[in-house]
Amino acid sequence: MLKKLLLRTIKYFVVDLIVLLINLFIVFLLVYKTHINYIIAVIIGFIIAFLLTYTADRLWTFKGTRIKLLKSTSRSFTINCSVLLVILFFTYLFVNYFQMHIMIARIISGIIAGIYSYILDAKFSFGMLRLK
């Protein structure tokens, strides 16, 4: 069981890493090419990232979940709204109080949010965080 948990965790973070790179590219384009406010850019990137990660997690990472699609999607969306708040909080904090570059701040906030979201998604969205 521990081996399955480890494999699932690795899959989750592989998906998260790929989508984080896509998200960073979107944020970069929006901030530096279209001059959209970085908070708005982070929100737009996050919405796109949610759609990508949920689909990949449902089909690959947590394949075999017994939680119905609508229930799983609504739970994951709720969790990811709280993840967005974590990302926005840390991005704002790092940019405005620690004078970090927006992209560095977004990477660090993404790492923090990734750990937080894995625990909540695995437990509540897909019902697969059990150590029996």
Residue 131 has pLDDT above 60, yes or no: no
d(CA 106, CA 22): 12
Read off the tokens for 70. Answer: 């609508």
- pLDDT, mean of residues 61-73: 88
Residue 85 DSSP SS3: helix
Give 118's contacts (C-beta < 8 A, 6+ positions apart): 9, 12, 13, 16
- pLDDT, mean of residues 23-33: 95
Residue 62 falls inside a structural domain: yes
Q: Which domain holds residue 112?
A: 2-125
d(CA 103, CA 107): 6
d(CA 120, CA 38): 26
Position 129 scores a pLDDT of 67
Residue 132 has pLDDT above 90, yes or no: no
d(CA 40, CA 88): 10
Residue 28 has pLDDT above 80, yes or no: yes
- pLDDT band at 66, cuts 50/70/90? confident
- pLDDT, mean of residues 13-36: 94
Residue 74 falls inside a structural domain: yes
Residue 98 falls inside a structural domain: yes
d(CA 34, CA 46): 17
- pLDDT band at 5, cuts 50/70/90? confident
Residue 68 falls inside a structural domain: yes
pTM summary value: 0.81
Residue 97 DSSP SS3: helix
Position 130 scores a pLDDT of 62
How many domains, in total, are found in the chain? 1
Residue 48 falls inside a structural domain: yes
Count Cβ neighbours within 10 Å for each residue of 32-47 and write b for 16 or more, e otherwise.
eeeebebeebbbbbbe
pLDDT digits (tens, 9 = 90+) for 73-119: 999 999 999 999 999 999 999 999 999 999 999 999 999 999 999 98
Residue 130 falls inside a structural domain: no
Higher pLDDT, 93 or 128: 93
Residue 132 falls inside a structural domain: no
